[in-house]
Amino acid sequence: MFRKQFGNLSRVSTHLSRNVLAARVASRETEMSTNAAPAEAVTAPPLVNEFRTGVANPGEHSDVQLGKFYTIPMEQKKQIFSGGGLPKQYEQQIKTFTEACLMVRSPALELLNYIKRADLSKPVVRYVLYGDNGVGKTLTMAHVLHYGMLNDFLLVHVPWAPNWMKRPKESANSASQEGFIDLPFDAAAWLVHFKAQNSKLLERLQLKTSKEYVWSKRESTPAGSSLIELVEHGIARIKYASETTAALISELKQLATAGQCKVMVAIDGYNAFFHPITRIFSDNKQRVSPDRITLTQPFLDITNYDWTNGVCILSVDKIAMTEGYMESYLPRYLLGKEGFEHLDPFVPVHVGNYTEKEFASYINYYLDRHWISKTQPGFDEQLKFMSNMNPYTLMQLVRGL
């Protein structure tokens, strides 16, 4: 009993001594602040302005907002990314902080400047994001997608192309193309994603199909049908989802070239379409190549330069490849000869690690959200050293803080 009371008293005394020490430190800081020049106290900006910006429209972002976080309204985030497009850990962070914040970084600003100055009446320009693992290529693409949605671009967005080649939901022999493999559930899921992103704009534009599409003896989509009807057919009839996707992309190219709409193509992990093999097996137990997947050709067609009134943002990633094909992150290596010639000429956009300013903004944001609470002097330098200012590595390190 005595030991218990003594332990409680010692803890109380320790707590009181800490409070006294903290009060002394606070009083010294107060004295120093009163002795400081009043002009300096007035001009010092509040901490929130150092890492946040109130400019929520990506079209208005410039070097002034560089390294600062901006907030995507949750309704817009749900519309654009309900079918994917954000890293899983970043999605968890959004749920934890109850806000979707993206950092304004120089690769995204570079891309946005290119797009805003582009002459859309000329053949489509292909922009290729490249960089080492975890530097933020996906979030750079997300930033540009937000701009596209707000500026009336129809989004043709593939959140992660390697999923089709490595982890398809189901595969089946194509009924329309002998020797090819259909991914009906993946195609239907992509059509759902396309509809969620573009349904409001499609209702306003009232785009129509240019010809009749015959799916079977009893099923067809007549010429002059709305694109929404075409998409809903592919969702309802999963068997024809791959063919519907091909028809939809062909129609979008024609409509954009005719000046009836603007199209933004965004494909993450684009080099997966040029990998030598997939993890999908044919009937004779042989692995098939990506060019034998029916979903591959439509997305290769829309990344060609034979149409206008659009832009293509593509990323190449080492993670999109398999073992033995991850030696370099440069586009020429990851795309291979065939993929490089398909995209040539293109505009490369390098995405690198955080700068000093971006790293400081990241740390301040986590401190503001109270995700990093218990800190020691120099903790930020330790994180900088351990992560090498790589965004993904840094996010992993602060998970346990």
Distance of CA 95 to the CA centre of its chain: 17
Residues with Cβ within 8 Å of residue 16, at least 6 apart in sequence:
none
CA distances (Å), origin 162, targets 117, 287, 366: 31, 15, 31
β-pair partners for 173: 181
Whole-Å CA distances, 230 to 155, 219, 252, 299 = 16, 12, 12, 18
- Per-residue pLDDT at 373: 78
SS (HEC) of the chain: CHHHHHHHHHHHHHHHHHHHHHHHHHHHHHHHHHHCCHHHHHHCCCCHHHHECCCCCHHHCCHHHCCCEEEECHHHHHHHHCCCCCCHHHHHHHHHHCCEEEECCHHHHHHHHHHHHCCCCCECEEEEEECCCCCCHHHHHHHHHHHHHHCCEEEEEECCCHHHHHCCCCCEECCCCCCCEECHHHHHHHHHHHHHHHHHHHHHHCCECCCCEECCCCCEECCCCEHHHHHHHHHHCHHHHHHHHHHHHHHHHHHHHCCCCEEEEEECCHHHHHCCCCCCECCCCCECCHHHECCHHHHHHCCCCCCECEEEEEECCHHHCCCCCCCCCCHHHHHHHHHHHHHCCCEEEECCCCCHHHHHHHHHHHHHCCCCCCCCCCHHHHHHHHHCCCHHHHHHHHHHC
The whole-number pLDDT of residue 284 equals 85
Buried b (16+ CB within 10 A) or exposed e, 282-306: eeeeeebebebbbbbbbbbebbebe
Q: What is the pLDDT along the chain (401 residues), one digit of tens a residue?
A: 333 433 443 443 444 334 433 433 344 443 334 343 343 333 333 334 588 999 999 999 999 999 999 999 999 999 999 999 999 999 999 999 999 999 999 999 999 999 999 999 999 999 999 999 999 999 999 999 999 999 999 999 999 999 999 999 999 999 888 889 999 999 999 999 999 999 999 999 999 999 999 999 899 999 999 999 999 999 999 999 999 999 999 999 999 999 999 999 999 999 999 999 899 998 888 899 999 999 999 999 999 999 999 999 999 999 998 777 889 999 999 999 999 999 999 999 999 999 999 999 999 999 888 888 777 788 888 899 999 999 999 999 887 55
> Measuring CA to CA, how many Å separate 35 from each of 21, 40, 192, 243?
21, 11, 63, 75
CATH of 121-350, one of 3.30.2030, 3.30.420, 2.60.220, 3.40.50: 3.40.50
Q: Encoding tokens for residue 52?
A: 């946040």
Do the beta carbons of residue 235 and residue 195 sit within 8 Å? yes
**What is the C-alpha to C-alpha distance for residues 157 and 160, in angstroms, rounded to an integer?**
9
pLDDT, residue 270, reads 97
Asked whether the CA dihedral 175, 176, 178, 180 is positive or negative, the reply is negative
295 and 183 Cβ atoms separated by less than 8 Å? yes
**What pLDDT is attached to residue 13?**
40
Q: What is the pLDDT of residue 401?
A: 52
Contacts of range 282-289, beta carbons closer than 8 Å, 24 or more positions apart? 282/181, 283/173, 288/181
Q: What is the pLDDT of residues 312-345, one digit of tens each?
A: 999 999 999 877 788 999 999 999 999 999 999 9
Q: Boundaries of CATH 3.40.50 in the chain?
A: 121-350
CA–CA gap between residue 197 and residue 179 (Å, rounded): 33
- What does the alpha-carbon distance between residue 151 and residue 58 come to, in Å, rounded to a whole number? 10
Strands of the sheet containing 347-350, edge to edge, are 153-158, 262-267, 310-315, 125-130, 347-350
Residue pair 61/104 in contact (Cβ under 8 Å)? The answer is yes
Buried b (16+ CB within 10 A) or exposed e, 22-59: eeeeeeeeeeeeeeeeeeeeeeeeeeeeebbbebeebe
